[in-house]
């Protein structure tokens, strides 16, 4: 039987060297679009023998799937990374530096504890050390290091913990705080963070040069103790600029980065040195230094900042500058920091003021009559039992007369022990310090220093609005008709109240307001004796009108502010591009009246209640006034030279008697002398109290202060004086007390040399030089 003829089998199908034919099944268009890598793998592996083909596909499919996953993750995390603002890399908050007028640093405020330093201003030793320690291949790889990742995987498999983050990844993580809230064991969260970190690193590498990334990184690193960046780390740990770091210091700082709290040299110098040595070894391995250089660096002793200078100390001046900055600057400038702020403070005078205040008050605490807590006793208390100190305190403010610049703000004995700034925040009764402003108001109304006024007892109803109030003088004595200047030189209460009554409460209140007292003067005659409150800052500023011929400059603490690029933010420029001066001034009083008061206050400092100035060692021209409130609760002295005005207060935060005899001349005046002697030695010279006031010759009546008449001459009450032109009386303003045959005196016949000095008020021999004390408020009936 003949079999049907069949086609012979394709022998080539069983030959390994036979050419393969393309797969018979053609994939769809959709399949090609979405799964083309798999199809490509199939196509490439089709010619292979079965075992090799299976192996290639078993390995290849997961790889292709991994690439799919990587692509998907790249898209997802790339999109997520777009939500982060890369400009934050260039906007690292840093500390603003406060300088005194000599350029010495007072302190740093705002921002983070960081000072940005350009990469080219950092020691090359440190750059090599940080790269060897953190990312040896930084300049060779991209955003992430595949070799580093592989090495880290092998180390971790071997049980050795090692990271693989590049410097760029670390920068991204720190800037955007990607680790915030992350805890151990949260594997999925850690993986998510790592992938986002890589995506951000890719963006950073595409937007910035390698040097810029490294520069940002070294300014962002955390070095423990809230220290950020190489600038602060170098300053705080070694008290030097990063450009001055030695190889040993550089390796130590680079070494402690991975554990700033554990390897902090302030905490454990041995641990820090071990990390330094490890870093030096890595630098040798990386070829950054030789073994000989490493060995030499290991022998170099480490000298970190001494313990006494490690703590940040509070400062009354710094805190007041901070307050003024909050008024001047926008919130954005404050938060970002990086400003250089030049203040008016002179640290030499600031320190002298603090030293002089504490020195005098320690002396007071040793007096036999002192019955209160001492600072030494307070400091001896255990930390847990220390409350706000109750020891005797003080304050001082020093102002430059012709500018208003504040040279010193001493708010207490120690800002670390008490933050309360008594120079600017403690309003206390000012007592007789206010009397010069009462006399100033009266001089504006025509009274003169040589006008006679009674020092006798006040009579009921004599003082408007006072009812039966009858204040006494501090010595319990009374005098007769005396020159007005004597009332201020000797601080006579009865005379001062009469002078204030003549001026009128409204006029005295206006003088106080114009002089710069922030709290309105109470509407009562007792205010003539200073039974109301002000701060040493206000008093010092107000007193500058006397050496300034009535001109007051607004007190200020900040003269210039520059941003991190050196652009001037304050005081700014006007429309024509000219710098605006922060020195704002205005006429607070008539020049002639202020000059007249200044002459009397000069006598207070030579013959009056402040006459001990020269005995204490200050022999330069000056003027001033003491003040002591009831029961010795507040002791004041405010005085000035041709250049500076200084106010000093001594007392307790809760008003109480300091010591028996705690007058302003005993407690505050010695502090003032110490400060002003130092200021004069430092160049703030106390010259003659010159004035630009024009004087005219006039003949006046002692009793009325008006132009003398023939009747005044017959009554022997006339005298010749040189009167400031701005307060000179018109020709027809004649004495009303002596009208008989009243004729203007022919002043051309009076022989008065043009340069004749104004007659000095003679010290009153019948009245002892004693301090003044104010009358208690309860002595005033309420009306």
* Comparison of pLDDT for 1 and 492, the residue scoring more: 492
For residue 410, is pLDDT > 90?
yes
Does 571 sit behind a cis peptide bond, omega within 30 degrees of 0 on the bond before it?
yes
CB distance 144 to 198 below 8 Å: yes
For residue 70, is pLDDT > 80?
no
CB distance 499 to 436 below 8 Å: no
pLDDT of residue 478: 92
The CA distance from 496 to 121, in Å, is 66
CB distance 102 to 219 below 8 Å: no
Mark whether 78 and 125 lie in a shared domain: no
Which of 102-111, 334-343, 578-587 is least confident?
578-587
Asked whether residue 226 is assigned to any structural domain, the reply reads yes
Residues 6 or more apart in contact with residue 510 via CB below 8 angstroms: 441
For residue 150, name the pLDDT band (cuts at 50, 70, 90): confident
Q: pLDDT tens digits for 570-587?
A: 997 777 777 778 889 999
Residue 446 DSSP one-character state: T
The helix or strand, by DSSP H or E, that contains position 354, with its residue range, turns out to be helix 347-365
Mark whether 177 and 287 lie in a shared domain: yes
Asked whether residue 364 is assigned to any structural domain, the reply reads no
Asked whether residue 468 is assigned to any structural domain, the reply reads no
CA distances from 533 to 14, 442, 512 (A): 114, 22, 12
Percentages helix, strand, coil for the chain (3-state, rounded to 5) are 45, 15, 45
Long-range residue pairs from 12-15, CB within 8 A, at least 24 positions apart, any chain:
none
Average pLDDT across the chain, whole number? 86
Tokens representing 667 are 């407690």
Number of H helices, E strands in the chain: 25, 20
pLDDT, average across residues 427-451: 94
pLDDT, average across residues 93-104: 93
Mark whether 263 and 131 lie in a shared domain: yes
* Closest to 603 (Cα-Cα) out of 406, 719, 439: 439
Q: How many CA atoms lie within 13 A of 278 on its CB side?
A: 16
Asked whether residue 211 is assigned to any structural domain, the reply reads yes
For residue 749, is pLDDT > 50?
no
Q: pLDDT tens digits for 612-669?
A: 999 999 999 999 999 999 999 999 999 999 999 999 999 999 999 999 999 999 999 9
pLDDT of residue 157: 66
pLDDT of residue 28: 66
**Domain boundaries, position 64:** 35-83
State which of 309, 343, 372 marks the end of a domain.
309
Asked whether residue 646 is assigned to any structural domain, the reply reads no
For residue 487, is pLDDT > 80?
yes
Mark whether 226 and 298 lie in a shared domain: yes
Mark whether 193 and 146 lie in a shared domain: yes
pLDDT of residue 777: 34
Residue 518 DSSP one-character state: S
Q: pLDDT tens digits for 693-717?
A: 898 999 999 998 899 999 999 899 9
pLDDT, average across residues 328-355: 91
pTM of the model: 0.79
* Closest to 451 (Cα-Cα) out of 729, 757, 742, 772: 729
* Overall number of domains in the chain: 3
For residue 771, is pLDDT > 60?
no
Asked whether residue 438 is assigned to any structural domain, the reply reads no
pLDDT of residue 551: 96
Mark whether 204 and 73 lie in a shared domain: no
Q: pLDDT tens digits for 665-683?
A: 999 999 999 999 999 999 9
Asked whether residue 153 is assigned to any structural domain, the reply reads yes
For residue 782, is pLDDT > 60?
no
Residue 573 DSSP one-character state: B
Asked whether residue 466 is assigned to any structural domain, the reply reads no
Q: Which ranges of 449-535 does DSSP label H, i.e. alpha helix? A: 484-489, 493-503, 505-515
Mark whether 166 and 67 lie in a shared domain: no
Tokens representing 251 are 């390796």
Mark whether 79 and 119 lie in a shared domain: no
Q: What are phi and psi of 281, to 5 degrees?
A: -65, -40
* Comparison of pLDDT for 777 and 89, the residue scoring more: 89
The CA distance from 696 to 707, in Å, is 13
CA distances from 709 to 677, 700, 728, 735, 740 (A): 48, 8, 16, 6, 9
Q: pLDDT tens digits for 177-234?
A: 888 777 777 878 888 888 888 899 999 999 999 999 999 999 999 888 789 999 999 9
Mark whether 165 and 41 lie in a shared domain: no
Q: Which ranges of 117-166 does DSSP label H, i.e. alpha helix? A: 124-134, 146-157
Mark whether 158 and 302 lie in a shared domain: yes
Residue 396 burial (10 A CB sphere; 0-12, 13-18, 19+): buried
CA distances from 313 to 235, 304, 310, 318, 319 (A): 16, 19, 9, 10, 11
Query: Which residues are paired to 732 by β-bridges?
Result: none
State which of 252, 279, 309 marks the end of a domain.
309
Mark whether 139 and 207 lie in a shared domain: yes
Sign (positive or negative) of CA dihedral 363, 368, 370, 376: positive
pLDDT of residue 766: 37
Q: pLDDT tens digits for 237-290?
A: 999 999 999 999 999 999 999 888 889 899 899 999 999 999 999 999 999 999
Mark whether 78 and 190 lie in a shared domain: no
For residue 159, name the pLDDT band (cuts at 50, 70, 90): low
196: CATH: 1.10.3810.10
pLDDT of residue 778: 34
The CA distance from 387 to 391, in Å, is 11
């Amino acid at each position: 039987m003949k079999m049907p003829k069949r086609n012979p089998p394709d022998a080539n199908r069983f030959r390994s060297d036979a050419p393969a034919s393309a797969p018979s099944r053609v994939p769809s268009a959709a399949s090609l679009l979405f799964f083309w890598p798999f199809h490509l793998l199939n196509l490439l592996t089709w010619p292979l023998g079965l075992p090799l083909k299976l192996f290639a596909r078993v390995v290849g499919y997961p790889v292709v799937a991994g690439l799919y996953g990587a692509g998907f993750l790249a898209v997802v995390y790339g999109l997520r990374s777009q939500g982060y603002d890369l400009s934050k890399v260039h906007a690292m908050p840093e500390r603003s530096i406060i300088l005194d007028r000599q350029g010495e640093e007072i302190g740093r405020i705002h921002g983070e504890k960081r000072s940005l330093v350009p990469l080219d201003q950092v020691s090359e030793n440190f750059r090599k050390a940080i790269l060897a320690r953190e990312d040896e291949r930084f300049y060779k790889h991209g955003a992430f290091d595949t070799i580093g990742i592989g090495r880290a995987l092998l180390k971790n498999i071997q049980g050795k913990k090692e990271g693989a983050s590049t410097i760029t990844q670390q920068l991204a993580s720190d800037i955007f705080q990607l680790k915030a809230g992350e805890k151990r064991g949260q594997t999925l969260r850690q993986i998510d963070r790592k992938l986002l970190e890589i995506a951000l690193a890719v963006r950073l590498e595409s937007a910035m040069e390698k040097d810029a990334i490294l520069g940002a990184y070294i300014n962002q690193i955390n070095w423990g103790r809230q220290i950020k960046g190489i600038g602060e780390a170098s300053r705080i740990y070694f008290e030097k600029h990063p450009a001055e770091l030695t190889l040993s210091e550089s390796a130590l700082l680079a070494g402690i980065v991975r554990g700033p709290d554990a390897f902090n040299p302030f905490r454990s110098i041995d641990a820090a040195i071990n990390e330094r040595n490890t870093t030096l070894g890595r630098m040798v391995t990386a070829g950054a230094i030789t073994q000989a250089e490493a060995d030499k660096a290991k022998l170099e002793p480490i000298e970190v900042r001494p313990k006494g200078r490690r703590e940040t100390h509070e400062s009354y001046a710094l805190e007041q500058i901070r307050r003024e900055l909050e008024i001047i600057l926008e919130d954005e400038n404050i938060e970002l920091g990086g400003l250089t702020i030049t203040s008016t403070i002179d640290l030499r005078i600031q320190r002298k003021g603090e030293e002089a205040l504490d020195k005098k008050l320690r002396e007071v605490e040793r007096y036999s009559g002192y019955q209160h807590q001492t600072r030494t006793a307070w400091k001896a208390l255990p930390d847990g039992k220390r409350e706000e100190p109750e020891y005797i305190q003080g304050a001082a403010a020093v102002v430059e007369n012709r500018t208003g610049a504040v040279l010193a703000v001493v708010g207490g004995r120690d800002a670390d022990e008490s933050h309360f700034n008594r120079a600017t925040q403690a309003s206390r009764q000012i007592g007789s310090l206010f009397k010069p402003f009462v006399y100033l108001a009266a001089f504006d109304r025509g009274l003169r220093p040589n006008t006679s006024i009674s020092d006798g007892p006040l009579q009921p109803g004599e003082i408007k609005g006072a009812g039966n109030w009858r204040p006494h003088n501090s010595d319990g004595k009374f005098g007769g008709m005396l020159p007005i200047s004597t009332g201020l030189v000797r601080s006579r209460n009865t005379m001062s109240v009469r002078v204030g009554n003549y001026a009128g409460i409204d006029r005295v209140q206006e003088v106080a307001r114009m002089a710069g007292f922030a709290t309105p003067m109470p509407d009562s005659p007792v205010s003539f004796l200073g039974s109301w409150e002000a701060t040493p800052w206000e008093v010092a500023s107000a007193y500058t009108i006397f050496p300034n011929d009535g001109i007051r400059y607004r007190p200020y603490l900040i003269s210039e502010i520059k941003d991190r690029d050196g652009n001037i933010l304050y005081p700014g420029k006007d429309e024509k591009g000219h710098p605006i001066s922060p020195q704002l001034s205005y006429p607070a009083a008539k020049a002639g009246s202020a000059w007249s008061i200044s002459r009397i206050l000069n006598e207070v400092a030579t013959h009056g209640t402040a006459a001990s100035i020269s005995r204490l060692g200050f022999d330069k021209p000056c003027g001033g006034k003491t003040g002591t409130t009831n029961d010795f609760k507040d002791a004041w002295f405010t005085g000035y030279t041709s250049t500076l005005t200084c106010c000093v207060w001594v007392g307790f935060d809760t008003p109480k008697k300091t010591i028996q005899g705690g007058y302003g001349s005993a407690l505050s005046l010695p502090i003032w002398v110490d400060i002003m002697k130092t200021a004069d030695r430092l160049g703030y010279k106390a010259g003659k109290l010159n004035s630009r006031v024009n004087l005219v010759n006039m003949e006046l009546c002692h009793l009325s202060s008006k132009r003398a008449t023939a009747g005044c001459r017959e009554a022997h009450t006339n005298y010749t004086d040189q009167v400031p032109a701005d307060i000179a009386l018109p020709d027809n303003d004649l004495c009303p007390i002596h009208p008989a045959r009243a004729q203007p005196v022919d002043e051309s016949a009076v022989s008065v040399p043009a340069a004749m000095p104004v007659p000095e008020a003679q010290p009153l021999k019948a009245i002892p030089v004693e301090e003044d004390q104010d009358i208690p408020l309860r002595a005033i009936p309420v009306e």
